Amino acid sequence: MNINWQKNPLIPAIAQDYKTGEVLMLAYMNEEAFNLTLSTGYAHYFSRSRQRLWKKGESSNHTQEVKDVLLDCDADTIIVKIKQNGVACHTGRKSCFFTSVTQDKIVLDKEVNTEAIYGVVDRLYHTILERKSSKDSIKSWTKKLLNDKELMLSKIREEADEVCEAVDNESDKQVIYEMADLLYHSLVALGYRDISPDRVKQELARRFGKSGIEEKESRG
C-alpha cells in the first residue's frame, strides 16, 4: 500500500516504544521525512511550527532508532516503532503524554535538564507556550501579556527604548539586563503568533553571505 502524498502532504506519525508499546510522541511526516526515516534508520519529521524537516534528536542527541514502520488501513497515519535514546519530550519527560485530563494533574516527572540540552531561549519559548495553553488561574505575567496584545506590544516598545538608553549611557551589566527583558518580551510575541524561534534562526542563516545593503534592497 502506497501513501498518496498529493492527497495528504503531511500525515500523523506516532512514535511508539518498540518494546513496551508506550506511545511517546506524535509528530508529522512529509514524503521527504518518510523517505529519510526509512533510508537512515532514524526518525525524521516535518515541523509545522518551524516549517522545516528535522531529525529527532538533532540538537539534544535524543534520537529515535527505527525498528519498524506501520501504515494504517487508509494509508494516512504512521506508527514508527522506535528505540528512544534519552527522552522523547522537549520538557525532559520520557513521553509527551504526561498530563491526565481526568485526574487534572501531571502523572510523569521530569527526567533530564532540558535547558542544558536545548538552550535557554528554546526552553523559555516552550515555557511561554505552556503558559499560553494552560487553563490554570495562577497569576502569570506571561499569561497576562498573551491575553492582552496591546500590553504586550507596549512592553516590547518600552523594552526596546530601554535597551537603546542602556547602550548609550549605562554599564555593560545594565545593557545585558535590558536586552534580556527585550528578548523575553519578543519571545512572548513569537509565542502569541505561534512562530518558533527556529524560524528566526533560519532567517538569520539565510542572510549569511549577503551584505546588509543587498538584503534590504531585495525586500523591496
Q: Model confidence over 105-147: pLDDT tens digits?
A: 666 666 667 666 668 898 899 889 988 988 765 678 999 999 9
Q: Does 111 map to a domain?
A: no
Q: Using the 3D structure, point to which of 51, 79, 106 is the last residue of a domain.
A: 106
Residue 137 is predicted with a pLDDT of 58
Residue 98 is predicted with a pLDDT of 83
How high is the mean pLDDT of the chain? 89
Do 136 and 76 lie in one domain? The reply is no
Structural domain that includes position 96:
11-106
DSSP letter for 10, please: S
Do 143 and 186 lie in one domain? The reply is yes
Residue 160: what residue type? A
SS3 177: helix
Do 143 and 203 lie in one domain? The reply is yes
Do 133 and 159 lie in one domain? The reply is yes
Q: How far apart are CA 163 and CA 147, in angstroms?
A: 25
Cβ distance 32 to 180 under 8 Å? no
Q: Using the 3D structure, point to which of 106, 129, 160 is the last residue of a domain.
A: 106
Do 75 and 49 lie in one domain? The reply is yes
Do 160 and 206 lie in one domain? The reply is yes
What are residue 67's phi and psi, to 5 degrees? -105, -30
| Dihedral sign from CA coordinates of 12, 17, 23, 25 | negative
Cβ distance 124 to 188 under 8 Å? no
Other C-beta atoms closer than 10 Å to the C-beta of 134 total 12
pLDDT above 70 (res 216): no
% of the chain residues with pLDDT over 90: 64
Do 22 and 45 lie in one domain? The reply is yes
Q: Does 43 map to a domain?
A: yes
Count CA atoms within 13 Å of residue 148 on its CB side. 12
Its pTM stands at: 0.70
Q: Does 177 map to a domain?
A: yes
Q: How confident is the model at residue 212 (pLDDT cuts 50, 70, 90)?
A: low
Do 30 and 76 lie in one domain? The reply is yes
Q: Does 128 map to a domain?
A: yes
Do 22 and 83 lie in one domain? The reply is yes
Q: Cell for 48?
A: 509545522
Do 65 and 123 lie in one domain? The reply is no
Q: Does 171 map to a domain?
A: yes
Q: Does 135 map to a domain?
A: yes
Do 77 and 38 lie in one domain? The reply is yes
Nearest alpha-carbon partner for 125 in 46, 57, 189, 52: 189
Q: Does 5 map to a domain?
A: no
Q: Give the CATH number of the domain where residue 161 resides.
A: 1.10.287.1080
Looking at the 3D structure of the chain, how many domains does it have? 2
Q: Using the 3D structure, point to which of 85, 106, 127 is the last residue of a domain.
A: 106
Do 30 and 99 lie in one domain? The reply is yes
Q: Cell for 91?
A: 520538557
Q: Does 113 map to a domain?
A: no
Residues 6+ apart with CB under 8 A from 72: 78, 79
% of the chain residues with pLDDT over 70: 86
